[in-house]
Structure 1
Amino acid sequence: MNFLYPSFLWALGVLSVPIIIHLFNFRRTTRIYFSNNRFLKQVKEATTAKRRLKHYLILASRLLFLFFLVITFCQPIIPAKNQLTNDHAIVLYLDNSQSMSAQMEDKVRGLDAGIAFVKNIVSLFPPDTRYKLITNDFAPFSNSFKTKSEILDLLTQVRLSPVSRTMQEVTDRIRQQGAAHEREVFWISDFQKSTLGAIPTTLDSATQWHLVPIRFASLSNIFIDSAYLENPFAASGEKNVLRVKVRNDGKRDVDQLSLKLTINNIQSGAATLDVPQGGVAETTFDLATGLTGLNKAQITFNDFPVSFDNEFFFALNFTDKIKVVEIKKDNEPTPVEKVYGNKLVFSYHGFAVSNFNYNELAQADLVVVNGLNTVDPSLTNALSDYINKGGTLLLVPGTQPDVNNLKNLAQVAGLNAAPKGELADLDRPDFSNPFFENVFEEKSISLAMPKASRVLDWGNDRAAILRFKNDLPFLSLFNRGGKIYILASALDRDFTDFHQHALFVPVMYRIAASARRNETKHYYTLRENLITLRLDSIKNDEPLKLVGKEEVIPGQRKVGDRVFMEVPKFSIEQGFYKIASQRDTIGLLAFNLDKEESLMDQYPGEEIKTRVGGGNNISIFTASTSDTFSNEIKERYLGTPLWKYALLLALLFIITEVLLIRFLK
């Protein structure tokens, strides 16, 4: 124990005053006259003994009162574990991810508690201390050290951020400025398991690391795990079903959770479902017919107290069409033209091989080479280049194909002519094949199948999309940079009735869906870095803008008809943003928080310390409120003050003296 003001110990000389009073006042004798001396002697002996005891007790109380009163003014303390020094460089990392909006046990929001902790820290250190404040945004102000007043001003600007940071990202950011002498780092975070990433096994031993966990009350969180359209083709005007998966991260079942679907700010559906603890439940919403253009779909529900993820945004874009180019032997109508003739979904262009412009390949999602027995070398080279750049080709042979010629285009070494045979039945589809996912409402084993006679053969293919009953492939997919679909039969009535069968349309639609390049997704997460858009008639000097709550011009690069756009995660929030070119709206994007942020499980402070090496330069703060944190940090840097206890003891002994005088006879 030490004294802040040891010079006050000279005041202990006041202890002599009660002793002097005791000697000169309590020792005075009194003469008593009485007739019976024997009786007087007995009474005098008893009374003197009792008085002596009372006087000693009063004297002791007065002495102890004065002693502890002097000690109070000396201000005794237990020395601090950490010493305050001049020339401090302190780094403050404040986690401001969305999970910090949850409430602690005292009902204070985690971010608000973290801001209060930072204020307590900067108010403790000497005025010449410099601080660096780092948040998840990695904003420019975190590049340099600031004064106390500048830090307090920056704290008024701190808001919840949609960005999550791993522990490695934060430590790398701290190291960027180089090590400073006697540097200390205060790490204020909820230490969320799902977003903390791989924890470094060691931390810089030259730095003092102070981990300040923000501990939440026991929480159970409900959030949207995923959402998708049952029909992958978002065709305007057609009925569709939106499937939604809801996840329960808590340790109790949730019954009768109410979900609402709004489209363009009009409620379009409602559903209730039970979500088991730690499980996932699925529900559906019917999308009404008549939806065209750009539509904002939003799913909402009530989940208290974790509410930052109670909304889910879903963009329904019915403006993009799949671009299909068919190369055929003449200008006669074909089954391919009929199946891709739905102008709401497809942009179809058919060309006779003698009148084909190779520039059409750059715009095509799917190229169908239909009914050609041979392909000239220049077209073969152009199609090969198209496939190598990620394009999709469907090769439908003619009735008498030149296999050696088509082998160069198909890029399949084992391609051969098939022996002439009778029409044979196809086997039913393999419903477990991802190609047929969400294609059939009922997976019936009694499905009537088309017949076909092969003109091409490429051996056994266990991954074939469609097969004959003898297990030989009818339709196969080969990945060659892009995708090549090969059909074993010509689309001619003498060779197959596949193009007249009900199976033909869903298979051709699925091929087209898999061919869509750079398709705008229905929603993105704010953890993604890049968005690829395919847009026509955009001039190189026209930057695209994202227009939502604010207008943002993200970093972007144009290559042909494609635009590679960086996600400006520090400038946007979850919600809807229109893609604008000058004054024209050409698309709609929906952004949601990364679902990892919704997993609220936390690392205890001691476990984090153990994982990062548990060195002496790592300490843990256990305070759960602003007041307790203030007391804890003062105890560490200023020591534990004891003057209050000394004052209480002084008051106790003065009260004891009063009681002795009043009641002890």
Structure 2
Amino acid sequence: MQFKQPEILYALILLLIPIIVHLFQLRRFKKVPFTNVEFLKTVTKQTRKSRVLKKWLVLATRLLMLAAIILAFAQPFTSENEEALTESETVIYLDNSFSMQAKGDRGELMRRAVQDLLDSGYDDEVITLFTNDSEFRNVSLKSIQNELVQLDYTGSQLDYEAAVLKGKQMFSSNSERIKNLILISDFQQNREFTPANRDEQFQLKYVQLRPVSSTNISIDSAYIRDNNSNNLELKVKLKSADGSLLNLPVSLFNDDVLTAKTAVDSEENPIASFSLPKNQQINGKLSIEDVQLQFDNMLFFNIDNQEKIKVLSINQADDDFLKRIYTEPEFEYENVPFEQLNYNRISEQDLIILNELDEIPVALSNALNSFVRDRGYILIIPSNESILNSYNQLLRSVSRIYMTGFIPEEKLITRINYDHPLFEGVFDQEVSNFQYPKVKGLIRTQSQGSPVLQFEDGNPFFIQEDNVFVFTTALNEDHSNVLNSPLIVPTLYNVGLSSLKLPKLYYTIGNDIEFDVNTSIQQDDILKLGLGENQVIPQQRSFPKKVTISIGNNLQEHGIYDILRSNEVLDKVSFNYSRKESDLRYYDLSSQFGIESSDSLKITLDEIKSETEINALWKWFVIFALILLIFEMLILKFVR
């Protein structure tokens, strides 16, 4: 038996007081003459024996009653754990990512976890709880009950390792306390899981909640295919985990009005198609019906009458290949012989191409330097007779690229930087068996930029550094066969698209996003993104003829946002949640990592509570004291 207040036991010394009182409470007897002495002696002996017995019974009763009261105030208890009286802290991570929408045997996984928390009996105990996008420090469950019931799902996710580190930081600095960190999640495989190292400072407990079914159907992606001059073909790719997609209906809405409906007609190629008119603004939403996860049943997109990207080619060589690449509706292509160049037209363009100029005069170099500072893009194609000093004069002012001299050797272009942004979505896989293009010579170039294409010996063929793209050899047919290679079209086409990053069909929330708005704003003006009543101010940089908007983790909700300048809608841009959580595959913590986990939050909380649970005995001592009090009253009344 242990005591919560052992210092009160010193009060047992007070038991000496009734002992002293009873032992020294002597009574004096007065002699009274009486005729029948023999009879009187017998009665006196019997009364004295009765009083002595009564006195000792009352003394014992009072001593035991006082001792029971003192022990009750000392709060005695029994416990199986030696650390029963040690203070404890509990920090809980509750995963509220979209995958926790999946249905378990008692409803949605996150809702079940919230209900288990509220039913745990921890109502008045102080805990700390955090989710992927919110936190509640040192609160009772009772005080945050409404917030937990209204807790919403989010597309932002903490890595499991980050959740452990964040939970560890939320503990107090008191090293004497028992600390428990509980991770509640489905432990989906879309996030990397690394078992946490054993930490003596806290106990880590895993609660893995799993759905009854891993079947989920989602709208994976959408893209536009230009079919003919009158219509666009919208392709919608669907994805299923152990579910049938055949004849699944897909609905297309424009401004919340149902405009078309179709179905998937192939299991092997689960793609739905819609025909859309060209030159029509569409604020679209694609929708399917699926009872598992809800966030991936919709996909937003928008098609606008976008600004054309203005491309100016300054030529001293044939530009037919450029005319075939930079066509409408994306581009507004203009070519001009170098001798007829109007320098005032440079600032109006998005991309300037120097097509095999022999020399770049100082005036043109200065104009292009200003153009690049204002976030314009230039593409340099040198000639066979390039005067490198004039090229370097321009390159030094706009980049860290430097041309050192000609190498008159035939070279093959064999290396492709597949991770370069220019080739995003171009290749399904790395290609190793295509016919390599070749050149008859090249310009040796030093650069700290990113090589997009390289020769077999590692020398760069095509380089990007910020807004500057440079070929290291002429592209004319007398010098190379590059124009016959399938590489040249996507390379030059994507250079043109990157020169003015107009909003795409849609973006994925959580990715690093950057796009341009073709407008000019005053010094104190800002652009906003608006969705209904909510507005967000993204990071932005203003240039003379455009504003570049950058978005990291600013957005939390999917939908079609207005791009606002004051109250004027300049354009629209669509954002969708990442589909990483649509794949309902989970870690097996036990077999994969040797980690003991529970599938019940209630059991885990009961285990934590049992570690500090005690069997309080003070009530029994109070009851014992009351029984002794009654016993004393009976003695005083009935014992003579």
What range is the shorter-chain TM-score in?
0.5 to 0.7
Name the counterpart of 2:95.
95
Q: Tell me how far apart the structure 2 counterparts of residues 637 and 255 of structure 1 sit (CA, whole Å).
A: 56
Contact 2:443–2:472 (8 Å) recurs in 1: no
Quickly say closer, same or farther: Cα 1:245–1:341, change in 2 above 3 A: closer
Structure 1 position 577, deviation (Å): 1.4
The letter for the 2-side match of 1:521 is K
Tell me if 1:565 matches 2:550. yes
Tell me if 1:535 matches 2:518. yes
Alignment of 1:450-469 (within 5 A): 457-458=441-442
Contact 2:160–2:192 (8 Å) recurs in 1: yes
**5+ unaligned residues in a row in structure 1: which ranges?**
3-76, 420-429, 440-453, 615-619, 641-665
Find the partner of 1:217 among 212, 215, 239: 212
Q: Tell me how far apart the structure 1 counterparts of residues 224 and 181 of structure 2 sit (CA, whole Å).
A: 46
Find the partner of 2:159 among 166, 188, 205: 166
Tell me if 1:307 matches 2:274. no
Quickly say closer, same or farther: Cα 1:339–1:537, change in 2 above 3 A: farther
Tell me if 1:147 matches 2:140. yes
Structure 1 position 102, deviation (Å): 0.9
Q: Tell me how far apart the structure 1 counterparts of residues 279 and 338 of structure 2 sit (CA, whole Å).
A: 38
Contact 2:250–2:263 (8 Å) recurs in 1: yes
Quickly say closer, same or farther: Cα 1:273–1:199, change in 2 above 3 A: farther
Q: Tell me how far apart the structure 2 counterparts of residues 171 and 505 of structure 1 sit (CA, whole Å).
A: 48
Q: Tell me how far apart the structure 2 counterparts of residues 344 and 534 of structure 1 sit (CA, whole Å).
A: 18
Q: Secondary structure at the match of 1:193?
A: coil
Tell me if 1:289 matches 2:289. no
Identity across aligned pairs (percent)?
A: 19
**Residue-by-residue CA offset, 1:327-346 (whole Å, 9 max, x unaligned):** 3579xx98589668866432
* TM-score where L is the length of structure 2: 0.63
Quickly say closer, same or farther: Cα 1:192–1:148, change in 2 above 3 A: closer
Q: Secondary structure at the match of 1:145?
A: strand
Name the counterpart of 2:311.
324
Q: Tell me how far apart the structure 1 counterparts of residues 591 and 494 of structure 2 sit (CA, whole Å).
A: 51
Name the counterpart of 1:346.
331
Aligned pair count? 507
Name the counterpart of 2:187.
192
Contact 1:248–1:275 (8 Å) recurs in 2: no
Structure 1 position 109, deviation (Å): 1.1
Name the counterpart of 2:599.
622
Q: Tell me how far apart the structure 2 counterparts of residues 338 and 118 of structure 1 sit (CA, whole Å).
A: 66
Quickly say closer, same or farther: Cα 1:247–1:257, change in 2 above 3 A: same
Name the counterpart of 1:588.
572
Q: Tell me how far apart the structure 1 counterparts of residues 496 and 230 of structure 2 sit (CA, whole Å).
A: 16
Root-mean-square deviation over aligned CA pairs = 5.3
Name the counterpart of 1:547.
530
Q: Secondary structure at the match of 2:156?
A: coil
Contact 1:387–1:480 (8 Å) recurs in 2: no
Structure 1 position 417, deviation (Å): 8.9
Q: Tell me how far apart the structure 1 counterparts of residues 345 and 161 of structure 2 sit (CA, whole Å).
A: 47
Alignment of 1:193-592 (within 5 A): 193-230=188-225, 239-250=231-242, 254-264=245-255, 265-268=257-260, 270-275=262-267, 281-283=269-271, 285-293=273-281, 295-328=282-315, 344-348=329-333, 353=338, 364-370=349-355, 372-380=357-365, 383=368, 393-395=378-380, 401-402=385-386, 404=388, 408=392, 413=404, 415=406, 457-458=441-442, 477-481=462-466, 482-485=468-471, 488=474, 510=493, 513-560=496-543, 561-569=546-554, 572-592=556-576
Q: Secondary structure at the match of 1:114?
A: helix
Structure 1 position 111, deviation (Å): 1.5
**5+ unaligned residues in a row in structure 2: which ranges?**
3-76, 396-400, 411-415, 428-438, 445-450, 616-640
Q: Greater CA deviation, 222-231 or 208-217?
A: 222-231
Contact 2:442–2:472 (8 Å) recurs in 1: no
Q: Tell me how far apart the structure 2 counterparts of residues 416 and 606 of structure 1 sit (CA, whole Å).
A: 61
* TM-score where L is the length of structure 1: 0.61
Find the partner of 1:610 among 594, 598, 613: 594
Tell me if 1:135 matches 2:135. no
**Residue-by-residue CA offset, 1:96-116 (whole Å, 9 max, x unaligned):** 11111111123x111211111
Tell me if 1:105 matches 2:88. no
The letter for the 2-side match of 1:315 is N
Q: Secondary structure at the match of 1:299?
A: strand
**Residue-by-residue CA offset, 1:48-107 (whole Å, 9 max, x unaligned):** xxxxxxxxxxxxxxxxxxxxxxxxxxxxx996779775854322221111111111123x
Q: Tell me how far apart the structure 1 counterparts of residues 194 and 568 of structure 2 sit (CA, whole Å).
A: 46
Q: Tell me how far apart the structure 1 counterparts of residues 356 and 272 of structure 2 sit (CA, whole Å).
A: 42
Alignment of 1:168-183 (within 5 A): 168-181=161-174, 182=177
Quickly say closer, same or farther: Cα 1:82–1:563, change in 2 above 3 A: farther
Q: Tell me how far apart the structure 1 counterparts of residues 590 and 326 of structure 2 sit (CA, whole Å).
A: 65
Structure 1 position 118, deviation (Å): 1.9
Contact 2:100–2:186 (8 Å) recurs in 1: no
The letter for the 2-side match of 1:583 is N
Name the counterpart of 1:124.
122
Structure 1 position 134, deviation (Å): 0.6
The letter for the 1-side match of 2:566 is Q
Quickly say closer, same or farther: Cα 1:529–1:328, change in 2 above 3 A: closer
Name the counterpart of 1:44.
none
